[in-house]
Every structure is written in C-alpha cells, then in structure tokens.
Amino acid sequence: MGGMERPVRVLFVCLGNICRSPLAEGAFRKLLRERGLEDRFEVDSAGTGAWHAGEPMDPRARRVLEEEGAYFPHVARQMTREDALRFDHILVMDRENLLEVHRRFPEARGKARLLLDYLGGGEVPDPYYGDLQDCREVYWMVEAACRAFLEKHGPPVADGEGGA
C-alpha cells in the first residue's frame, strides 16, 4: 500500500470564525473520529474578518458542540494567504464570504466552494443574532454537509464499517 500519504487538508470558513465554521469543524472532526480517519485529514477553520481573532468560539456554539460530542479547543483567527495555498478544500458558509475569499486570495480559486454544495446548494445561515436552537439547526445542517463531503472525498468505506 505504500508509505504515508499526505493528509487531505480541509478549511471551514465563515465571517468571524466563532459560530458557523467552528460548528462545521467540530462536526467534521467528530465524523473523522467515529470513522477512524483522523490521521487522513488535517482540519481547521478561519474567518474572513478579524473582529473576533484571538477569542473563543461563541458560547452557544460551544454548548451545541458539547451536546453533540463534537467539542474541540478553538481560538478564532482570520484566514491567511498561506491557508489559501495550503488547504486542498476551502468550504465556505455563504456566498458573501466565498466572494471575499476569491477576492482576497486568487490562489483559492478551484479549492473554495460553498459547504452546502455537497447537499445540493444553499448557504449556512448565520446564528450569531439567533438563539441556542439556531446554533443546533446550523450544526445539524453542517454535519449533514460534512458527511456528504466525506463520502465524496474520503476513503471508501468497507462493508460492515461506517458510523451509526
């Protein structure tokens, strides 16, 4: 089977990196853990804006990730040119942020797309001005999209394997 392959690098992007992209990152990390694929992927998230850089994720997002068994330590950060060059897949939550990624990082063209493209299209709504239930609904949405992404870009699942 050869030597170690380079992990597939996946970056989740939203506006401030405190709600949607950490929810997606946590959901994806959980799916990888459940399938024993953590060593096959490198996962991170970032925001197009710097307003929340250095801050923890939104407390509602943290609570949802804890409820779902998907919590991970997180500090918000802004996307960089290095990210655009380094990551294989840049999965963005909405069209406005996708346009911003393409505008600031031409290197991301061909790598950046909307996360919900894996569910047939659409945008992940921003739960920032909503409540805990809005964060839960965003989690379920991004988890489904992450599952579809993994089915397309992950290793084939052998019979008898896979998550619940």
Where exactly are the structural domains of the chain? 15-153
The CATH code belonging to domain 15-153 is 3.40.50.2300
Distance in angstroms (rounded) separating the CA atoms of residues 7 and 38:
9
pLDDT, tens digit (0-9, with 9 covering 90-100), for 45-87:
999 999 999 999 999 999 999 999 999 999 999 999 999 999 9
Contact 101, 79 (CB under 8 A): yes
Distance CA 146, CA 149 (A): 5
Catalytic-role residue among 62, 126, 135, 146: 126
Specify whether 14 is catalytic.
yes
What average pLDDT is seen over the chain? 94
Does this model's pTM top 0.75? My answer is yes
